[in-house]
Amino acid sequence: MSAAQAVFSGWMEIEDTDEQQRAHALDQAVAALVEEYAPALYRVAYSVLRNAADAEDAVQEAFVRVLRHRDQLGEVRDHRVWLIRIVWNVVLDRKRRMKTRPETDDVTELARVLPSGGLSAEELAAAAQHHARVLACVEQLPAKEREVLQLAAFEELSSVEIAAVLGITESSVRSRLFRARNLMAELLDHKRSLR
């Protein structure tokens, strides 16, 4: 049982007569969600926005939405998928408003989303360059294929979870993911042949 689930099961047992205790328990539940899921939500937001400040703002906006609806937290089955769907919607709203996507070639920002355990400076730089090439290929994918690939690759969501986040069928997810992987293989092969 995750920390968030433990807090949720505890607040559900509080009697409705003590609203102050219930409100405090709900605040603790939201705090547990922030602690447990903020890094994953940041990765989702960053994978789309490619800007650290925008990704952090998107995560904060998602948690503000959670706070507004915290009375309904007990009804949510899978908090991770629910939160990813919220941040996904926030990110898409932001992209529509921005109309252009600021890109970053900053290795420091790329390092924030890359695991770096035990890598030398040269290996880390090479990994960041490879990561940048892969991200550039992801950007060339059609929007529908790019969305499922980002959720599958960056957040390791299952087909069922991706379907819930995007509001599509699981078979659509699988076919989009299949097309995305084939297109990525072609794009990466093409990039290698250009070097």
Q: Is the whole-model pTM more than 0.75?
A: no
Angle between helix axes 170-194 and 143-155 (nearest 10 degrees) is: 90
User: How far is CA 31 from its chain centroid?
Assistant: 18
pLDDT for 2 beyond 70: no
For residues 44 and 87, the answer to whether their CB atoms sit within 8 Å is yes
pLDDT single digits (tens) 6-61: 555 555 554 445 777 877 777 788 788 888 888 989 988 888 888 889 999 999 99
What's the mean pLDDT when you consider all of the chain?
78
CA dihedral defined by 47, 91, 77, 178, rounded to 10 degrees?
-50
Q: CA 128, 129, 132 angle in degrees (round to 5)?
A: 85
In angstroms, the CA 85 to CA 89 distance is 6
pLDDT single digits (tens) 93-127: 888 877 654 444 444 454 455 555 566 667 666 66
* Domains within the chain, CATH numbers bracketed: 1-100 (1.10.1740), 109-195 (1.10.10.10)
